[in-house]
Amino acid sequence: MTEPMVRIRGLRKSFGTKEVLCGIDMDVQAGSVMCIIGPSGSGKSTLLSCINHLERIDGGRMWVGGELVGYRERAGKLYELPERKVAKMRARIGMVFQQFNLFPHMTALQNIIEAPIRVKRQPPAEARAKAMVLLERVGLADRAAAFPSQLSGGQQQRVAIARALAMEPQLMLFDEPTSALDPELVGEVLAVMRDLAATGMTMMVVTHELSFAREVGDDLVFMADGLIMERGSPRTVLANPREPRTREFLSRVL
């Protein structure tokens, strides 16, 4: 069996005295889509932030593409990597947040080319050409010169996805990417994510969109209280959950 794209063992994370991740073990196979559901406060977003080393971990190990995330290990102890090496690692992991986090003073095109030019040292002309291809892919080629304030929420999120893809990541993390959108704009973002999944991109998606999880997901994880309570195929878990905590949650959201 090939090495998983993401391998997590014994992951722990606390904020003060509250442990929000209580020993997570997880594998995500390359080219698969894992959807993560669960109540607010269950640790879903923190899990993604740890994978991208936006949060320091308190225990365990994580690997992306076979590389230890955020640390080097010597004699069984972890030592945090310098920021320069963390940034290089993070460039291989795209992340899309609930809020779009676009630079308001930059156009859609400028938002997309900023990191490739600054981090990857891509020539500006090459970065712009690739950015236009990505804008075409997310259906916004005609909005390249628009500023975020001139775009709808759905359009801003599609630009944010294009911005993440511009770094040519191995893995894409989505943290409830449609939760800040008006209902009529959700579909346009999910359509881009469906297209991305169809190309074989490895994706981890924290979502409340259960129909998307059922249709697109290869695996579904239900988290509560910092633990993985249940995991299986999305259709099986959503139709016939084994665990009482999963059944209780689904009864409230389905």
Return the ∠ at Cα 198 (arms to 176 and 192), rounded to 5°.
45
Q: What is the pLDDT along the chain (254 residues), one digit of tens a residue?
A: 578 999 999 999 999 999 999 999 999 999 999 999 999 999 999 999 999 999 999 999 999 999 999 999 999 899 999 998 998 888 899 999 999 999 999 999 999 999 999 989 999 999 999 999 999 999 999 999 999 999 999 999 999 999 999 999 999 999 999 999 999 999 999 999 999 999 999 999 999 999 999 999 999 999 999 999 999 999 999 999 999 999 999 999 98
Other CB atoms within 10 Å distance of the CB of residue 103: 12
Q: Is position 242 within any domain?
A: no
* CA 213 to the chain's CA centroid: 14
d(CA 206, CA 98): 10
Which of these, 48, 34, 50, 159, lies nearest to 106 by C-alpha position? Answer: 159
CB 50 within 8 A of CB 13: yes
Q: Is position 130 within any domain?
A: yes
d(CA 164, CA 175): 13
Q: Is position 144 within any domain?
A: yes
In 166-231, alpha helices (H): 183-198, 210-216
Give the domain range for residue 125.
Answer: 102-168
Q: Is position 211 within any domain?
A: no
Q: Is position 226 within any domain?
A: no
Domain count, the chain: 1
Q: Is position 35 within any domain?
A: no
Quick check: pTM over 0.75? yes
7: amino acid identity, one letter: R
Q: Is position 218 within any domain?
A: no
CB 177 within 8 A of CB 157: yes
Q: Is position 193 within any domain?
A: no
